[in-house]
Structure 1
Amino acid sequence: MQLIGERVSLRLLQEQDLAAFAHYRSQADIARYQSWSEYTLEDAKALYRNMGLRAFGAPGHWFQIAIIDNESGQLTGDLALHFIDGRQTEIGFTLSSDWQGQGIAREALQLMLEYLFDGMKKHRVISITDTRNSAAVHLLERLAFRREAHYVDNIFFKGEWGSEYQYAMLASEWFDKQG
């Protein structure tokens, strides 16, 4: 799988990405709303090995997609895809702080949504984010995801109770949006 956009390309995470992947994920500002507090190169290698055990899109499994800057060839971040079942996918996104605020995550998500809905014929895509993650909330709403749920103090996370929003988009909503 390789998707090419105007400024970014998407492909499966590769072994040569792991050092950069671990580097930005280890930064405190990146880890703030993520499930990890620390992230090492060994964590990246374990995730990569585990991902390689399955065919892309296997239901019940997560896959990391590298977001590559077309001009420099640098890894700017990643998308996480959880193929819930044959028709539904959860998507998450993490961007290196060096690349935030430039529209890269938006372009990457648009490319992936087009692939999921047009190419893989998915029915529904969801995304769950911490309610305090205003950048993620703004991005999902700008992409026309619909806020479906507000879970209040639903997760004990890094020593405190946290609340989350669940967003979703149906294929029919995606196609209506495309005009």
Structure 2
Amino acid sequence: MKVGVRGDVRLVPLRPEHAEAMFSGLSDARGYRFLPDDPPGSVEDLREKYVRQSAGAPAGSGEVWRNWLIAGGDGAGLMGYTQATFSGDDAVIGYHVFPAFWRRGVATAAVGLTLDAVFAVGAVKAVRAFADTRNAASVALMERLDFRCLRVIEGADFFRGESSDEYEFTLSRRNWLAFR
């Protein structure tokens, strides 16, 4: 699956050997305010996770997993990751941009590249994404990229002592191709 470049942002396929370079950015607790995950415990824990992710979806799940790192030019290094889970003619995407790169257009470029890669798969008709309703930046990103809100999922998760509601967004292949 070919992945392109936008501005100074490019996507590279995730590999276990990226764990050390990703550890510092993923250790910034600010990046988990709206996520039920915690920062990785160690580089080795992260490497083991990347081994599992690189191996792909579990056999018989009917899913295909793709995971990319967000890389920057001009010595910016690694800035986060994007991911896509394919199932039939549907894909679900997610992303995590390190706080040091917030509000620089990195998420817009990286998610745009991810959408290009996902819709390059002929079978995919629609992409879904989920965002915590309190995460104004992610909600704005979905709207900026022409996603439509399908529904609000009340009580979608519970973490850090609070209940989390989520928006479910969708973007059709036709709308993405017309938008970009």
Q: TM-score range by the shorter chain?
A: 0.7 to 0.9
* Contact 2:26 2:98 (8 Å CA) reproduced: yes
Aligned residue pair count = 174
Partner amino acid, structure 1, of 2:27 = S
Name the residue aligned to 1:116: 118
SS state at 2:55 partner = coil
Name the residue aligned to 1:54: 56
Name the residue aligned to 1:174: 176
Instruction: Provide the identity percentage.
Output: 26
Distance verdict in 2 for CA 1:144–1:30, change over 3 Å: same
Partner amino acid, structure 1, of 2:111 = L
1:20 aligns with 2:21: yes
Question: Deviations 1:26-46 (Å, cap 9, x if unpaired)?
Answer: 221112222312313233212
Task: Give the C-alpha shift of residue 160 in structure 1.
Answer: 2.4
Partner amino acid, structure 1, of 2:72 = D
Name the residue aligned to 1:74: 77
1:23-172 matches, within 5 Å, as 23-40=24-41, 41-54=43-56, 59-72=62-75, 74-83=77-86, 85-117=87-119, 119-121=120-122, 122-172=124-174
Q: TM-score under structure 2 normalisation?
A: 0.87
Distance verdict in 2 for CA 1:144–1:35, change over 3 Å: same
Q: TM-score under structure 1 normalisation?
A: 0.87
SS state at 1:115 partner = helix
Q: Distance in 1 between matches of 2:153 and 2:169?
A: 11
Runs of 4+ in 1 over 4 A off after TM superposition: none
RMSD: 2.0
Structure 1 residues not aligned, in runs of 5+: none
